[in-house]
Amino acid sequence: MLGIVSAARAARAHERWGPPLAEGALDIATGLLAFLFPAGAVLGFVLVTAAWALLTGGLMLGAAFRLEAG
């Protein structure tokens, strides 16, 4: 919702308003989908969290091995 307000303010100031408007619309659509399909939202959240944990864990392991080797 704030993205849409930000887009309106940017349009009045003759600045770029497209990206904030797109973000606001995407946020509203995502919230609506999460409301309509709560199980899918939970599954999506779990998968994103798992991917984030694997990525950051791998990066931390790589940094630890580089620190020890160097």
> Are residues 30 and 2 both part of a single domain?
yes
Residue 22 has pLDDT above 80, yes or no: yes
Quick one: pLDDT at residue 43? Answer: 96
pLDDT band at residue 70 using 50, 70 and 90 as cut-offs: low
> Are residues 43 and 32 both part of a single domain?
no
Quick one: pLDDT at residue 1? Answer: 81
pTM over 0.85: no
pLDDT per position as a tens digit, 23-65: 999 999 999 999 999 999 999 999 999 999 999 999 999 999 9
> Are residues 30 and 7 both part of a single domain?
yes
Domain that holds residue 49: 38-70
The three state secondary structure string of the chain is CHHHHHHHHHHHCCCCCHHHHHHHHHHHHHHHHHHHCHHHHHHHHHHHHHHHHHHHHHHHHHHHHHHHHC
Task: Return the higher-pLDDT residue of 1 and 25.
Answer: 25
